[in-house]
Amino acid sequence: MAKLAGRLQQLRKMREARDEKAAGENTEGKKAEEKNPEVLSRPLPWEGWTELSPYVWKRTIEVAYPKETRYIGGVLIESADILNYLVFYDFETTGLSGGAGTLVFLAGFGRFDGKSMSIDQLMLADYPGEAEFIREISRYLSDKNIFVSYNGKGFDRHVLLNRLRIHGYRNADMRRQLDLLYPTRKIWGKSLERCNLGSIEAHVLKVTRVLDIPGALIPECYQKFLRTREEGCMQMVVAHHVQDIKSLAQLLFHIEKVASEPHLLIDSNAGVGLGRMLASLGDPRGLKILEKELSEGNEDAGRILVPIYKRKKRIPELRGVLNKMTALRPGYFQIVETAKLLEHIDKDPKAAMDLIQPLIQRRALVSEARLKELHYRRNRLQRKIESP
């Protein structure tokens, strides 16, 4: 590889030419910064932070969170005792795709104590401190705790597990996870275009962030901090991170609260989402919410209620739902379900047939597959009518 240096030189030339072409007008700022890779001395912790070991910083902040705002509705949390085990966590990482090269550089753990929530933030001020940084994080990982996050189960936890394994912690884990993304999606998934935490804050929790940094820019901002040691955008990241953890707690209690006070929901679709979730958890409030939404004209609520009542064999309720749905709109679903009720429960194939026939005649409005089903149903009804 005698000529490797020369080849690298050629590559550099090509890259520079490309960069100049691409950047055009605004090259100066970036170039000045990039061309100065002088060795930077170890950064000093910022005000309010302490250095636990080289490059590992920590601070603890208290966020007022009075007891009366900690609402427990028995949805995700059964009793106030559990509050002591909840650890609200969030990690900022060097990349958004995961994998062995993605590091956690900012970890936050929030817990309740008395009147407030206290949040520990651990920051990795440069890569060489990672072993100690991971050791500090590992102290928080007790199997007694329940780790509350937003998409932590699918992402944050895995990034940390990778780092733990690389540093030799073979069993450390955050086993008990309460990931709020899932219930949130169930409730507001249909109401909101996007279900990320920012969108939930804006539309559901009514939290406004001032001077916030978009999550997608965070890895870049950290790299810039490593290169230049400028606090600038990293202070925004740290503030953003605190807000994320605060929002987690707020969101958890909001979900607990709306279960009992569904009028607080942003729209009828969220009501259906909540009703469905509660019903699937076996919570009687679910059916009540769905009934209410149906009465107020949301047909989707009926679609969820029908299979539940069928399964529970609650025929009068089932009939009620179907009547309400048909009154709203004589759609395919309600007609077919009513026909089934007439055929199997009321044993009245004739009445069922009378419902089905017009649907078949309006064939243009019915899909191929449904039409096939309808024919099948009609033929069976015909047989029943002819030889009861």
Partner 1 sequence: MILLVSMDTMETFLKKLKTDSHFSPQVSRWHTIPPRKASYLLPPEDLFPELKDLLKARGVDRLYSHQIEVYKAARRGENVVVVTPTASGKTLSYNLPVVQTLLENPEMRALYMFPTKALSQDQQSELNEIVLGGSLPLKVATYDGDTPKSLRVSARESGRIVISNPDMMHAGVLPNHPKWIKFLSNLKYVIIDEVHTYRGIFGSHMTNLIRRLKRVAEFYGSSPQFILCSATIGNPKELAEQIIEEEVTLVDRNGAPSGEKHVVLYNPPLVDPVQGIRRGVVLEAKNIALTFLRRRIKTIVFARSRLRTELISSYLKRAVKNMYTENERLRIESYRGGYLPNERREIEKGLREGSIHGVVSTNALELGIDIGALDAAVLAGMPASIASILQQAGRAGRRENVSIAVLIASAAPTDQFLVQHPDYFFGRSPESAWINPDNLYVLIDHLKCAVFELPFKEADSFGKTMERDELEDVLAYLEEAGTVRKSAGRWYWSGKGYPAEEVSLRTTSPRSVVIINTTGGINEVIGEMDVPSAKELLFPNAVYLHRGNQFLSLELDIENLKCYVKESQLNYYTDSVVKTDIKVLEVDSSDIAPDCRVITGDVLVRSQVAKYKKLKFGTHENLGYGDIHLPEEEIHTRAVLMSFETDTSAGRGIEGINPEIREHVIAHIGTLIKNVAPIFLLCERHDIGIVERIKDPFTEFPTIYLYDTAPGGIGLSEGFSEKRIEILKGAYDLVVHCGCEYGCPSCIGPDEGKTEDNKKKAVISFLNTWIEKEWIPGK
The residues binding partner 1 (CB under 8 A) are 1-8, 10-12, 14-15, 34, 37, 94-101, 126-128, 161-166, 170, 219-220, 223, 226-227
What letter would DSSP give residue 231? -
Least distance (Å) between residue 333 CB and partner 1: 29
Least distance (Å) between residue 28 CB and partner 1: 17
Q: What angle do CA 151, 289, 149 make, to 5 degrees?
A: 15
Cα–Cα distance for residue pair 269/257, rounded to 1 Å: 17
Both structure tokens of 354 = 């009378």
Q: What type of residue is 208? A: T
Mapped onto helix, strand or coil, the DSSP state of residue 38 is coil
Mapped onto helix, strand or coil, the DSSP state of residue 117 is strand
Cα–Cα distance for residue pair 158/181, rounded to 1 Å: 16
In sequence order, what E strands does 21-103 have?
50-53, 56-64, 86-93
What letter would DSSP give residue 41? P
Cα–Cα distance for residue pair 380/374, rounded to 1 Å: 10
Nearer to partner 1, 216 or 364 (CB): 216
Nearer to partner 1, 226 or 328 (CB): 226
Sign of CA dihedral 141, 63, 221, 132: negative
Nearer to partner 1, 170 or 313 (CB): 170
Nearer to partner 1, 164 or 287 (CB): 164
Nearer to partner 1, 166 or 365 (CB): 166
Least distance (Å) between residue 181 CB and partner 1: 18
Least distance (Å) between residue 180 CB and partner 1: 23
Least distance (Å) between residue 269 CB and partner 1: 30
How far from each other are the two terminal CA atoms of the chain, in whole angstroms? 91
Nearer to partner 1, 8 or 44 (CB): 8
Least distance (Å) between residue 14 CB and partner 1: 7
Least distance (Å) between residue 274 CB and partner 1: 29
Helix pair 332-340, 315-328: axis angle to 10 deg = 150
Both structure tokens of 152 = 């932590």
Nearer to partner 1, 57 or 309 (CB): 57
Residue with tokens 């909540």: 274
